[in-house]
Every structure is written in C-alpha cells, then in structure tokens.
C-alpha cells in the first residue's frame, strides 16, 4: 500500500511503527459554527481511509480533536452574548449530528483543548527549558530560528520567510515569524493559571500535545485539509520534534480544496456552504458519494449539477442492491449448471482485486468506484438472465452481493440514513450526557445519578473517555420516553427553584428543534422545522 506523503512529495510504501497497527491523528473543527462543506471533506476522506485500513486488516487507533478554545470562539461568543466554553460545547453537539449524518465513524478519542491545559503547559515549559520558546509579559512565543528544518513540510525557506516578513504591531517578539504558544489573559476571555500568569494556549500547540499524548511521540499518519499545511502543521512539527527529539509524523496526508467556480471556497469570498443546508436538499449518502467520487488530493469543484450527477450515480448502485434483494426472496428448486455459477464469482473476485489495487495506490476512491460500477453491471446482467427459483443462482448472487456490499461499505456509501426521529433521539441523548457531565463537575451527584439511572433504564451504554462521554445503543429508545423524562426533570428544577437549570434545559431543547408549551393540562412539546 502506498500513501502520498506531503513532506516528501511522493508516494511511499506504508510501513507502520507497529506491524498491523496504524496510529492516526486528524485535525478536527474549531467549534464556533456549524461545519461547512470544506470541513466535511476531510471528515469523509479520512473516515474512508480509516475504513479501508481496517478492511486491509490493520488495527486503527484514530484520534480527532476539538478546538474549543480559540479567538474565533471567543469572538463568536461575544457577538452572541454567550460563554465561550458553552458555545463551543453546543457546536460540538452540532458537529456530531452532522458527522453522524454522513456516516462518520466516531474517533476512538475526541480530545478537547479545554481538558488538556495542564498537558499543554507542561509542553510549553519543556520548550522554554530547551531554548525553543521565550516569555514576554505573560505571552510565550516559539523561537522559530532555533528549530533546524522549519519549513520542511510546506517547502518554505526560513530565510525567505524572514526576509519577506514585515514588522508587526507586536515588536516584543524576537522575530516576526515567531508564533504564540501561550496568550496572556484579556478581560472577559476564558483563562487558566500558568507559570506565566493567567492565559490560554495558542492554536498550534494543542494538536502537538494531544496527538502525542494519545498516540505516542511518533505518529504513523497525520491528516487534515491542505489549508493546514502552513502554518498549523508546520508549527506542530517544530513544537513536537523540539520537545521529543524524534520524528513527529511518518506520513502526512492532506485533502485538496473545495472550489466554487474554480475559486477556493472561503468565508471571505462569501462562497462557502453550511453542510446541513446541503443535507436539507440532498440525501446524506449522496453528499458522501460526491465527496469521495474525486481523488482526495484533487480539487473538488462544487455546484448543484455535480450533486445531481452523484445522486444518479449512487442511485444506479442502490438499484443493484434492490434488484438483488428482490431476486433473493422466494422459493428455490434444482441448481443451474456450474458454468453459469462461476462466471459472476470470478468477475466479483476480479473487481475486488482491482478495487484493492486502486485503493492501495494512495486511496484512489475515484478509480475504485469505477470497478464497483463494473461489478454492479455484471450483477445486473446476471440477475436478468438467472432464475430466482434456482438455489445455485441465489448462492452465487448472494456471494457476489457480499463482495459488492463490503466494497461499498469501505467507502461508506451504503449507509442507512437516519430518520428525523432518530436524529432527535441522538440530540436529546447528547443533551442528557452534557447535563450529566456538568452535574458531576458541580458535585450535584443526585442529579448525575438520576440521569445515569434513566440512561440505564433505556439500555443506553455510556463510555466516559478522556475526550468526552459518548453513548451507544443497539435499539434506539422512544423519543416519547426521553421527552417524558426531560419534561419531568424540568418540573423538578422548577419545584426546587433551580430556575437557571430549568431555563437552560428549555433552551437546549429549543436548540435541537423541540419547543415546550406550558398549559393548564401540563407541558406539551413538539418538534419544529429548522
């Protein structure tokens, strides 16, 4: 298997640190808004990479972070009159709703910056001790000139960067290219105590710290969008390698930009699209298909016409599944001649081999899809000529469809689209989890226990990890049962004069499209259109 390594600029054979295992880190979103289509592409791309590695027999340890402490979050919270941490938490929930809709398998760990401040402070202290960082009036900066090899990922020369640098407003830095590791606290901003006074981390240090904490000093694969190559990933390398003295990442992977009319999609140009606005117009699996139908490193131009093409193309593959399901029902009689049996079997094996060959060549999903369509054509032809009453025909088709479905599953395109009720259930469970975590922090153990007991009663399994709590269930609970519990809980808050909790719960429900109405007969609730 070969992977294009951004750092070397060529395809390289995948050789992992531990045989049979891949440690993989992918930069997650800064949670100050709903994710847009540009955010969605790396989510789908690296989910596909993860799925394929597992398909090829690797044990994949997958980490994706949330940046919940950042200037953008602070500015957005100030605009909305909200607490920055609470705003970030809200958009984390919204992220999961969108990611789940696209069939993204949740990471093994979703670490948050706010949970790793002590780790970040320790890392900065190490950089200062080694001469790679310096403190000025409560701010800490990385000394770029001290790191030999700065620019090796982006291909930029430090000398050129220094020569082209303009004098910045902050002249306290030794060099204009030096970047912030720790920012002194400003009034009204979230802050934490540190050896340099109250403040918060800079953007780049977080990923260096969280990735190495959970995956070790050297990562197999680090992924993200091409826009992160410089300065974010370049700075990650400088920080991590300066602290550990070891190579930070063996394979750097970056997906290409999404363009609109051949221009890079960006907020400054006003040509970006919120993902859920697109999902409101097109099925979730169609959007995912569209995002993987082009090789991940290539630019992807966006317009409705291409989504319509994706819808039609995916429809052909889904038609094959429908025809096969219809064929495989009913009674059977004597088997057909073996010659008819072997033809489709051999073709399925051939298409699987070609599919693997394409994906082994730097995850060429566009080429792999071509072989999946060819297999679809062969299956359709077999169905049109076979006899649904023949046991052998059914056996051969069943085997071919197993291959067909497995290959489609690697790409994540044969997913079941969640119903509106299912989505509402997941939104409500996220509210309960957040409330439970907050209750534990507040040492309100009675509330935390009641929330836990309710989840247990609904057979909801909760996993408490360093990156946050996650829920899992085999059978989705009824939305009515969850709402009955939450309505009663809100009333308990009012009875005990915990009005802030009652109001917050009402607002949280409103945020996921559920309104409450207090009537003489009791509380009524309804799901409203977004």
Task: Report pLDDT digits (tens) over 468-497.
Answer: 677 777 566 788 889 889 999 999 999 999
Residues with Cβ within 8 Å of residue 246, at least 6 apart in sequence: 217, 218
In a domain, 274, yes or no: no
Q: Residues 239, 203: contact at Cβ < 8 Å? A: no
Quickly list H helices, 195-329.
203-215, 234-244, 275-279, 284-292, 304-327
For range 276-282, the mean pLDDT: 91
Tokens of 24: 């993989």
pLDDT at 229 over 70: yes
> Are residues 172 and 120 located together in one domain of the fold?
yes
For range 503-518, the mean pLDDT: 88
Domain boundary among the residues 388, 411, 434 is at 411
In a domain, 359, yes or no: yes
> Are residues 446 and 399 located together in one domain of the fold?
no
Cα–Cα distance between 58 and 79 in angstroms, integer?
A: 46
> Are residues 142 and 170 located together in one domain of the fold?
yes
> Are residues 232 and 205 located together in one domain of the fold?
yes
Using alpha carbons, select from 424, 530, 402 the residue that is nearest to residue 483. Answer: 424
> With the CA atoms of 425, 109, 278 and 318 taken in that order, what torsion angle do they form, in degrees rounded to the nearest 10?
-80
Residue carrying the six token digits 């202290």:
125
In a domain, 329, yes or no: yes
> Are residues 376 and 446 located together in one domain of the fold?
no
In a domain, 264, yes or no: no
Phi, psi of 102 (to 5 degrees): -85, 5
Domain boundary among the residues 233, 255, 277 is at 255
Q: What percent of the chain has pLDDT over 70?
A: 92
Q: Residues 134, 169: contact at Cβ < 8 Å? A: no
Cα–Cα distance between 377 and 260 in angstroms, integer?
A: 33
Cα–Cα distance between 383 and 390 in angstroms, integer?
A: 12
Task: Report pLDDT digits (tens) over 77-91.
Answer: 999 999 999 999 999
Question: Residue 26: what pLDDT?
Answer: 98
Tokens of 525: 């609730």
Residues in the chain, total = 530
Out of 121-125, 269-273, 363-367, pick the least confident.
Answer: 269-273
Tokens of 317: 């593959």
The count of structural domains within the chain is 3
Question: Residue 166: what pLDDT?
Answer: 54
pLDDT confidence band for 424 (50 / 70 / 90): confident
Residue 103's alpha-carbon distances to 199, 417, 463, in angstroms, are 37, 8, 20
Using alpha carbons, select from 310, 450, 453, 314 the residue that is nearest to residue 373. Answer: 314
pLDDT at 395 over 50: yes
> Are residues 463 and 397 located together in one domain of the fold?
no
Using alpha carbons, select from 250, 254, 255 the residue that is nearest to residue 237. Answer: 250
Residues with Cβ within 8 Å of residue 34, at least 6 apart in sequence: 91, 94, 98, 274, 275, 276
In a domain, 489, yes or no: yes
> Are residues 144 and 291 located together in one domain of the fold?
no
> Are residues 123 and 158 located together in one domain of the fold?
yes
In a domain, 280, yes or no: no
Q: Residues 41, 3: contact at Cβ < 8 Å? A: no
pLDDT at 234 over 90: yes
Question: Residue 332: what pLDDT?
Answer: 64
Using alpha carbons, select from 202, 266, 286 the residue that is nearest to residue 39. Answer: 266
CATH code, domain carrying 249:
3.40.50.620
Question: Residue 158: what pLDDT?
Answer: 86
Burial of 402 (0-12, 13-18, 19+ CB in 10 A): exposed
Choice between 129 and 434, residue whose per-residue pLDDT is larger: 129
Task: Report pLDDT digits (tens) over 143-200.
Answer: 999 999 999 999 998 888 876 665 455 778 999 999 999 999 999 899 999 999 999 9
Out of 77-86, 293-302, 504-513, pick the least confident.
Answer: 504-513
- 261 φ/ψ sector (left φ>0, alpha ψ -120 to 50, else beta): left
Tokens of 485: 């519990």
Question: Residue 427: what pLDDT?
Answer: 86
pLDDT at 137 over 60: yes
* Structural domain span for residue 18: 2-255
pLDDT at 418 over 50: no
CATH code, domain carrying 400:
1.20.120.640
Cα–Cα distance between 530 and 525 in angstroms, integer?
A: 15
pLDDT at 458 over 90: no
Cis before 231? omega within 30: yes
For range 351-367, the mean pLDDT: 98
Q: Residues 190, 220: contact at Cβ < 8 Å? A: no
> Are residues 144 and 201 located together in one domain of the fold?
yes
Cα–Cα distance between 351 and 487 in angstroms, integer?
A: 54
Task: Report pLDDT digits (tens) over 45-65.
Answer: 999 999 999 999 999 999 999
> Are residues 347 and 446 located together in one domain of the fold?
no
Out of 8-22, 299-313, 340-354, pick the least confident.
Answer: 340-354
Out of 47-51, 91-95, 329-333, 392-396, pick the least confident.
Answer: 329-333
Task: Report pLDDT digits (tens) over 195-217.
Answer: 999 999 999 999 999 999 999 99
Question: Residue 403: what pLDDT?
Answer: 96
> Are residues 177 and 319 located together in one domain of the fold?
no
For range 417-434, the mean pLDDT: 76
Question: Residue 334: what pLDDT?
Answer: 59
pLDDT at 249 over 50: yes
Q: Residues 204, 215: contact at Cβ < 8 Å? A: no
pLDDT confidence band for 337 (50 / 70 / 90): low
| Helix (H) and strand (E) counts in the chain | 17, 17
Question: Residue 173: what pLDDT?
Answer: 94
pLDDT at 322 over 50: yes
In a domain, 262, yes or no: no
For range 215-222, the mean pLDDT: 98
Cα–Cα distance between 488 and 432 in angstroms, integer?
A: 13
> Are residues 342 and 205 located together in one domain of the fold?
no
Domain boundary among the residues 255, 274, 297 is at 255
**Mean pLDDT across the chain:** 90
Out of 312-321, 377-386, 451-460, pick the least confident.
Answer: 451-460
In a domain, 87, yes or no: yes
């Amino acid at each position: 298997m070969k992977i294009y390594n951004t750092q070397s600029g060529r395809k390289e054979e995948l050789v992992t640190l531990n045989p049979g295992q891949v440690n993989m880190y992918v930069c997650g979103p800064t949670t100050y808004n709903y994710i847009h289509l540009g955010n969605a592409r790396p989510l789908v791309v690296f989910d596909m990479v993860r799925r394929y590695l597992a398909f090829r027999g690797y044990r994949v340890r997958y980490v994706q972070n949330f940046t919940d402490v950042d200037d953008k979050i602070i500015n957005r919270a100030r605009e909305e009159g909200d607490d920055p941490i609470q705003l970030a938490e809200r958009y984390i929930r919204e992220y999961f709703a969108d990611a789940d809709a696209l069939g993204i398998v949740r990471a093994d760990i979703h670490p948050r910056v706010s949970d790793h401040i002590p780790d970040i402070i320790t890392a900065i202290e190490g950089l200062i001790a080694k001469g790679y960082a310096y403190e000025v009036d409560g701010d800490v900066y990385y000394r770029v000139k001290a790191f030999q090899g700065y620019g090796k990922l982006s291909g930029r020369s430090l000398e050129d960067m220094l020569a082209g640098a303009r004098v910045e407003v902050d002249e306290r830095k030794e060099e204009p290219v030096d970047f912030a590791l720790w920012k002194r606290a400003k009034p009204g901003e979230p802050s934490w105590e540190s050896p340099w006074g109250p403040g918060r981390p800079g953007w780049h240090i977080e990923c260096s710290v969280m990735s190495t904490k959970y995956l070790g000093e050297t990562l197999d694969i680090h992924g993200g969008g091409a826009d992160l190559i410089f300065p974010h990933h370049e700075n990650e390398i400088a920080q991590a390698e300066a602290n550990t003295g070891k190579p930070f990442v063996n394979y750097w992977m970056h997906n290409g930009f999404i363009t609109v009319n051949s221009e890079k999609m960006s907020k400054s140009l006003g040509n970006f699209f919120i993902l859920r606005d697109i999902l409101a117009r097109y099925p979730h699996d169609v959007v995912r298909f569209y995002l993987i139908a082009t090789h991940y490193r290539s630019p992807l131009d966006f317009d409705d016409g291409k989504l319509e093409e994706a819808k039609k193309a995916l429809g052909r593959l889904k038609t094959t599944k429908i025809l096969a399901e219809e064929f495989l029902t009913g009674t059977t009689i004597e088997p057909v001649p073996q010659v008819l049996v072997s033809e489709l079997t051999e073709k399925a094996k051939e298409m699987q081999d070609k599919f693997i060959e394409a994906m082994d060549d730097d995850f060429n999903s566009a080429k792999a899809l071509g072989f999946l369509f060819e297999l679809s054509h062969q299956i359709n032809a077999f169905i049109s000529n076979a006899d649904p009453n023949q046991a052998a025909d059914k056996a051969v088709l069943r085997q071919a469809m197993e291959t067909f479905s497995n290959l489609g599953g690697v790409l994540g395109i044969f997913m079941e689209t969640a119903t509106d009720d299912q989505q509402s259930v997941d939104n409500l469970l996220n509210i309960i989890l957040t409330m439970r975590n907050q209750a534990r922090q507040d040492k309100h153990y009675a509330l935390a226990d009641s929330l836990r007991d309710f989840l247990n009663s609904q057979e909801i399994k909760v996993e408490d990890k360093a990156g946050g709590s996650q829920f899992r269930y085999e059978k989705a609970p009824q939305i009515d049962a969850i709402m009955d519990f939450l309505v009663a809980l809100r009333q308990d808050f009012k009875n005990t004069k915990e009005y802030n909790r009652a109001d917050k719960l009402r607002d949280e429900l409103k945020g996921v499209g559920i309104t409450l109405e207090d009537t003489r007969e009791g509380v009524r609730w309804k799901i409203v259109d977004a």
